[in-house]
Structure 1
Amino acid sequence: MKFSLVLLVIPVILFVNTACDDKNTKCTESNISANFENESHNNGQNCVSCHKSGGEGKGCFNVCGSVYTSATSSSSLANVTVKFYTQPNGQGTLKYTVKGDAKGNFFTTEDMAVAGLYPAISGPTGTKYMGSALTSGSCNSCHGNSTDKLWAD
């Protein structure tokens, strides 16, 4: 009787454990933007509303956003470079670099601690700097909502 019960319980434990692992390992999936790629979507939306633990998106984004040709434009700016510095205006130490894709989106699941850093977005003809330090890597949670869209030249 004990042996039969053990044989019945083991598959249940394995099923429950696998189901929990599927949810918890979602954030171990890699998803990183690169210049000229075009698989991203939902420009201007808060990427982290889906790309988070338990979310529908592939991987959990640590840094993400959308870049446009101006603060009021709906035209995205392709293949930007986003850099994160320890001081404003591209000063201090460069800590991280993220490449944007062909649709104007940039994102990464790489482990990046960007709170307190200063971003710089470079387009084909210039660089724009954020004057205040970041509190989050979810750029579209503010930009395009409570503040101007991210943009570069």
Structure 2
Amino acid sequence: MLKTFIAQCTTIALALQLAACGSGGDAGTTPVDVNSSTSATNSSQSTGSHNPGQACMNSGCHDGTNNAEQFTAAGTIYTSSGVAQANATVRLYVHNTNTLSLTANTDGSGNFYTTQAVEGLSTGNGLVSGVDVEVEGPGGIRTMPGLVTNGSCNACHGVSNGRIVVD
């Protein structure tokens, strides 16, 4: 019960912070929007991708070791009943800032992904600041506590941690 209360307080505090500061990035920063018409890669709202829940960036598929596109951030969002959340929005903010680094919508399989560089996430070349994660579904916003430095969400969620759930 205490964990739930703390999670709710964190969500409220973040929402208040975003409302006070706005949700855009710095003047010189352009966030990755994987659903824009100019994006080279995006997850379509109407159709589903494949292998929901799989760690696609670590499996020899989308990790740059074969002919498939190399993802820089990817994961799967579920509802509390365990089905894919096809209408969720994932936002990554550069850690401890209000700089939006990525906005991605889930597809019909609950998956989101991008091949574009995401500020704050590791590319394997040196130190990164990390990102703060926010997922929004029809029923509200959930935030992930702690710093995230790797975009392979399903490498932890669904394996050593619970699935990413938002209703």
Q: Specify the alignment match of 1:109 in structure 2.
A: 115
For 1:1-153, list aligned pairs within 5 A: 30-38=40-48, 40-48=49-57, 49=59, 50-55=61-66, 58-70=68-80, 73-87=81-95, 92-115=98-121, 116-153=130-167
The separation in 2 between residues aligned to 1:97 and 1:83, in whole angstroms, is 5
Amino acid at match of 2:74: C
1:68, CA displacement in angstroms?
0.6
Kindly state the Cα deviation for residue 133 of structure 1 after the two structures are TM-superposed. Answer: 1.2
Deviation at residue 86 of structure 1 after TM alignment: 3.0
Gaps (5+ residues) in structure 1?
Answer: 1-29
* C-alpha contact 1:46 1:138 (8 A) present in aligned 2: yes
Residues 100 and 114 (structure 1), Cα distance of their counterparts in 2 relative to 1, 3 Å cut = farther
Are the equivalent residues in 1 in contact too, given 2:89–2:106 (CA < 8 A)? Answer: yes
The code of the aligned residue for 2:157 comes to H
For the aligned residue pairs, the C-alpha RMSD in angstroms reads: 1.8
Structure showing greater radius of gyration is: 1
Structure 2, unmatched stretches of 5+, are: 1-39, 122-129
For 1:76 and 1:44, how far apart are their aligned partners in 2?
9
SS of 2:90's equivalent in the other structure is: strand
Percent identical: 38
Helix, strand or coil: the match of 1:66? strand
4+ aligned runs moved over 4 Å, structure 1: none
Residue 104 of structure 2 aligns with an amino acid whose one-letter code is V
- Aligned in 2, Cα 1:93/1:31: closer, same or farther, shift over 3 Å? closer
**What is the CA deviation profile of residues 60-96 of structure 1, one whole-angstrom value per residue up to 9, with x for unaligned ones?**
00000001112xx4311112110011356xx622222
Q: Tell me the distance in 2 between the aligned counterparts of 1:53 and 1:32.
A: 17
User: Relative to total residues, which structure has the larger helix share, 1 or 2?
Assistant: 1
> How many residues matched?
118
TM-score after normalising by structure 1: 0.70
Instruction: Label 1:55 to 1:114 Cα distance change in 2 as closer, same or farther (>3 A).
Output: farther
